[in-house]
């Protein structure tokens, strides 16, 4: 299994909604298979898929390949104000109408 990354919309992009985005977890049918053949829907009873997904998540966490949306640092690209976490970004978007943000370290 592997996670297929895509550029998700930022959670603060829509001030009236709280969209969530997740990386897609896929199983390649064989090494080198084109992504069109990736399997991304699994039966709930597929214990093997669940174990593979749990192992993948564990490895990605060990590599710190995740975003803690409660405490990440983010900047409003309209007014350059620094913010901390999704909550502050959403509040800023609601009060200012600004919806262009970027994460920074």
Residues 100 and 80 sit within 8 Å (Cβ to Cβ): no
Domain regions of the chain by residue span: 2-104
Average pLDDT, the chain: 81
pLDDT at position 4 over 80: no
Condensed to tens digits (0 to 9), the pLDDT of residues 20-31 reads 456 788 888 898
Condensed to tens digits (0 to 9), the pLDDT of residues 53-88 reads 899 888 988 988 878 888 899 999 999 999 999 999
Helices and strands per DSSP (H, E), number in the chain = 2, 5
Start-end of H helices in 63-84: none
Q: Output the pLDDT for position 3.
A: 56
Mean per-residue pLDDT, 1-6: 54
Provide the whole-model pTM. 0.50
């Amino acid at each position: 299994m592997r996670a297929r990354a895509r550029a998700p919309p930022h959670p603060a992009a829509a001030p009236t909604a709280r969209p969530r985005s997740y990386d897609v977890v896929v199983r390649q049918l064989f090494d080198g298979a084109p992504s069109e053949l990736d399997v991304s829907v699994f039966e709930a009873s597929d214990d093997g898929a669940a174990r593979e997904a749990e192992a993948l998540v564990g490895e990605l966490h060990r590599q710190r390949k995740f975003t803690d949306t409660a405490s990440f640092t983010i900047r409003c690209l309209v007014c350059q104000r620094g913010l901390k976490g999704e909550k502050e970004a959403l509040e800023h978007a609601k009060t200012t109408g600004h919806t262009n943000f970027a994460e920074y370290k």
